[in-house]
Structure 1
Amino acid sequence: MDAKDLSPRPARAGNSATQRHDILIVGGGSAGIAVAASLLQRDESLSITIVEPRETHYYQPGWTMVGGGIFDRSQTHRPMASVIPKGVRWIRARVAQFAPDRDAILLEDGTQLSYGVLIVAAGIKLDWEQIDGLPDALGRSCVTSNYTFETAPYTWQLVQSLEEGVALFSQPPMPIKCAGAPQKVMYLACDHWRHWGRLPKIDVAFHTSTPALFGVADYVPALQSYVDKYGIELRLESRLIAVDSATQRATFAGADGEVTRDFDMLHVTPPQVAPDFIADSPLAAENGFVEVDDETLRHPRYGNVFALGDVCSAPNAKTAAAVRKQAPVVAWNILAMLSGTGRHAAYDGYGSCPLTVERGKIVLAEFGYGGELQPTFPHWLIDPTRPSRLAWHLKASLLPWVYWNGMLRGHEWLAGPKILPGAMEPPQTDTAQTQSVTG
């Protein structure tokens, strides 16, 4: 491969012949970039290719802060070429199909790319169409969402302009990325209205499809105290199913049937599913996401396939913090597979959700599989179950810097992989394929 191939400028795939790639990564979001960087930190001689159609990389955790008037939208994006690690080839294209039985993927232009190792980091699909009328209403008619770069500023515009009326906030069934985001926007909005003396004139309601305010019980008391403080009407097991932008009415379905409510502001968290080209592929689990072993993040049937981030089937919280811990695990396990080492790295389900309960305070939720608390900091410094000003400064100042300058560059500060004795379990089938890769 010549010097031009190694530059971060997008390369043309071409469809004249099958192209061979040693390590092929599908997706240039936080997971794809982070795992490429972690691999190169361990072995800078690796030949790595990223397939990603977008020209822009987004810091999605910042969009809640944009919707709360804390960040400017410009702080949450950079050119894709600036974040792809030096030495990694970038093919700007979309994947159409996976063919793991022959170690290949097919691009939309017909190009076939073969690989030695495949890493799938393709993210999650925001399925706006599941809610009747939402696609046409979003971004206007007082309907907004912090889940897109385009509409997050509109959230703050609505919060600032609302002086009285009804503000509704929704959360769909799991899984969603950043399960606390539907509440973060609500608390920041209420804090703003309280500061300006408007909250008594605004009826706020949170309609969540979940049976509890938050999935990890240890954090519920602190969150419930803010629901009570702001006078929020909490509607559990209530799912948004339709939006009428002309009349500004939203319909919810619950155990007692359907209810339609007028609104002056509606913040929607969209239903989220696996991307179509993932769900329809041989790599998919029953839920549509890429099937992986929860600990090694390796595919159980195709031994040279790994997945991480929102697209993998592991039952962890889908957050950028999870990716920060997953990338080193995948990097270690790929190199362990290729070298035949007798040890493997284990992912424990870590995820973090800094819950912004008011401007200047955050409940720093950190937990792993089964809801086990996994605080990074000692209890005397940050009590993970109580609002903290220090946690706010971490979210507002330190974490964005760590994202751009640490995680995306392969620096594994407080995120090194846990190494266990024993090799990874072989795949259930296609063992000959794995032997050919490692041999």
Structure 2
Amino acid sequence: MLAARSRFASVAKRTFASQAEATTAPVDKKYKVVVVGAGPGGLSVSSTLSKMLGKDQVAVIDPSQYHYYQPLWTYVGGGLKDFRESVRPMESVVPEKADWIQQRVTQLDPDNNQVKLNDGKTIGYDYLVVAAGIQINWDQIKGLKESLGKDGVTSNYSPESVQKTYKFIKEFKGGNALFTFPNTPLKCPGAPTKIVFLAEEAFRLQGVRDKTNVTYNTSLGKIFGVDHYGKVLQQLADERNINVNFQTELIEIKPEDRKAIFRNNANKEIKSFDYDFLHVAPPQGAPTFIKESKLADAAGFVDVNKSTLRSNKYKNVFSLGDCSNLPTSKTAAAITGESGTLKKNLIAQMEGKDIKPAEYDGYTSCPLIVGRDQLILAEFSGYTGQPLETFPVDQRKISSAAQYLNMEVIPSLYWNGLLNGTWTGPSTFRNIMSPFRKD
């Protein structure tokens, strides 16, 4: 009887072992580091690591044919920049020593150190960096996909429709101009507000402001999350007769009637607004393949330590940018600081160095465009809500110099610094300027 049990246990053990082996797909190729996503975070990390490790050691997985500098899209929508300045072929920005795998990730398997692709291949890794950005969920608003780019409905969050925004602004002859902010996380939380101010100014310059109602319906409880800058922004909105409705979320567009349906998230009241121009900031969320993986938190974003950017679940996994659950604004400026911290910690781990980890302080920036030559340069920690300003001036004040910096200088830093891994934010300059800053 004991012998039979022993034979049964042995057979069962071999069976379970073979089943476990069967679930681990054969690897088509393995890399020291795999980076998922070729946005600013992914390119910054892969540029630095591929220079350090050499060829065939770093892979970048991204299906996109083009790389977009999306912070420029507010200026494109406002008629101040050409869309072509915001785009470059992906092959021109992927690091020379990194392998670009132009496929879509379908599954993350951190238990087996594997990434599965839509072409059926499996890529193995020693270390994984997830920088996949955020997913725009156009379908969450009924009627949005069918309306977008037509009859005055636009969004600066799409490479196609952003090119329609200024066209619709120029064609606007008066009536109801409506702007929205979703009840979800989103990249560049200041962007929905910026286009309100640029459009309102354009209506004034076109001579139609006196017959225009400008309304900003935001799901937030205030116009900007950081009061240090938000109070100034709200004052400007009041001075320019911009109607701001809080906790008001777009849930449906009825293009045949030119009506936008909103829900007040405080009292659940449903209200209809007529529109002649409608700019929509669409709902956004974690990419599906991340949400379905073991790397995700309850909201679907990669669960990382907010100081070190290492996964709270897997020691060889890191994440930065919009797909992570870092509790700061999802901006390219945040990625500069995040990338510096992540690279230091990942490299130290790869080299087996037992050192005090580098810590990210939540730095982010949201250049608040309030006119063609007007900008409030908001810099702060998303962790504390306190200013982290670079220059020894009150950056709440409207500045044409800050507008020039944001339009002309920062894009160059992006293309020539952040993407090649050499620009990791303004902290050094902030420290240099510190003695000149008034308390």
- Per the normalisation by structure 2, the TM-score is 0.88
Hey, what's the Cα distance between the residues in 1 that align with 2:292 and 2:427?
34
Residues 281-331 of structure 1, C-alpha deviations (whole Å, 9 max, x = no match): 111011100110001110011000000110001111000001111111111
Q: Aligned residues: percent identity?
A: 40
Q: 1:21 pairs with 31, 34, 59, which one? A: 31
Hey, what's the Cα distance between the residues in 2 that align with 1:248 and 1:48?
50
8 A Cα contact 1:137 1:245, kept in partner: yes
Tell me the CA shift for residue 39 of structure 1: 2.8
Q: 1:399 pairs with 402, 410, 414, which one? A: 410
Q: 2:398 pairs with 387, 391, 412, which one? A: 387
Hey, what's the Cα distance between the residues in 2 that align with 1:46 and 1:315?
34
- Give the aligned partner of residue 370 of structure 1: 384
Hey, what's the Cα distance between the residues in 2 that align with 1:89 and 1:111?
15
- Give the aligned partner of residue 363 of structure 2: 350
Question: Structure 1, unaligned stretches of length 5 or more?
Answer: 1-14, 418-439
Question: Structure 2, unaligned stretches of length 5 or more?
Answer: 1-24, 429-439
User: 1:111-126, aligned counterparts within 5 Å?
Assistant: 111-126=121-136
Greater mean alpha carbon deviation, residues 337-346 or residues 112-121: 337-346
Hey, what's the Cα distance between the residues in 2 that align with 1:378 and 1:413?
20
Hey, what's the Cα distance between the residues in 2 that align with 1:284 and 1:190?
40
8 A Cα contact 2:50 2:57, kept in partner: no
- Give the aligned partner of residue 34 of structure 1: 44
- Give the aligned partner of residue 300 of structure 2: 288
Does 1:316 pair with 2:328? yes
- Give the aligned partner of residue 203 of structure 2: 193
Does 1:169 pair with 2:179? yes
8 A Cα contact 1:38 1:328, kept in partner: no
Hey, what's the Cα distance between the residues in 1 that align with 2:97 and 2:79?
37
Hey, what's the Cα distance between the residues in 2 that align with 1:46 and 1:343?
30
8 A Cα contact 1:199 1:230, kept in partner: no
Residues 318-358 of structure 1, C-alpha deviations (whole Å, 9 max, x = no match): 00001111111111111111122213111111111101001
- Give the aligned partner of residue 156 of structure 2: 146
Hey, what's the Cα distance between the residues in 2 that align with 1:307 and 1:177?
16
> Could you list the runs of 4 or more consecutive aligned residues of structure 1 that deviate by over 4 angstroms after TM superposition?
40-46, 413-417
- Give the aligned partner of residue 10 of structure 1: none
User: How many pairs align?
Assistant: 400
Aligned partner of residue 344 in structure 1, secondary structure: coil
Q: What is the one-letter code of the residue matched to 2:373?
A: G
Greater mean alpha carbon deviation, residues 257-266 or residues 33-42: 33-42
- Computing the radius of gyration from Cα coordinates, the structure with the larger value is 2
Q: 1:130 pairs with 140, 148, 152, which one? A: 140
User: 1:214-225, aligned counterparts within 5 Å?
Assistant: 214-225=224-235
Superposed CA RMSD: 1.6
User: 1:52-67, aligned counterparts within 5 Å?
Assistant: 52-67=62-77
Residues 355-384 of structure 1, C-alpha deviations (whole Å, 9 max, x = no match): 1001101011111112121111122xxx22
8 A Cα contact 1:290 1:313, kept in partner: yes
Hey, what's the Cα distance between the residues in 1 that align with 2:352 and 2:249?
49
Does 1:410 pair with 2:421? yes
- Per the normalisation by structure 1, the TM-score is 0.88
Does 1:242 pair with 2:217? no
Hey, what's the Cα distance between the residues in 2 that align with 1:277 and 1:416?
34
Tell me the CA shift for residue 385 of structure 1: 1.4
- Give the aligned partner of residue 258 of structure 1: 270
8 A Cα contact 1:328 1:415, kept in partner: no
Aligned partner of residue 346 in structure 1, secondary structure: coil
8 A Cα contact 2:41 2:339, kept in partner: yes
Q: What is the one-letter code of the residue matched to 1:393?
A: Y
Residues 157-215 of structure 1, C-alpha deviations (whole Å, 9 max, x = no match): 11111121000000012411111000100100111111232211110100000011110
CA 273–344 in structure 1, closer or farther in 2 if over 3 Å, else same: same
Hey, what's the Cα distance between the residues in 2 that align with 1:152 and 1:363?
23
Aligned partner of residue 263 in structure 2, secondary structure: strand
Q: What is the one-letter code of the residue matched to 1:387?
A: I
- Give the aligned partner of residue 421 of structure 1: none
Tell me the CA shift for residue 134 of structure 1: 0.8
8 A Cα contact 1:126 1:270, kept in partner: yes
Residues 6-65 of structure 1, C-alpha deviations (whole Å, 9 max, x = no match): xxxxxxxxx985311110001111111111123346555782110111111011101111
- Give the aligned partner of residue 9 of structure 2: none
Hey, what's the Cα distance between the residues in 2 that align with 1:274 and 1:390?
36
Residues 50-106 of structure 1, C-alpha deviations (whole Å, 9 max, x = no match): 011111101110111100001111011000010011211111111111111111111
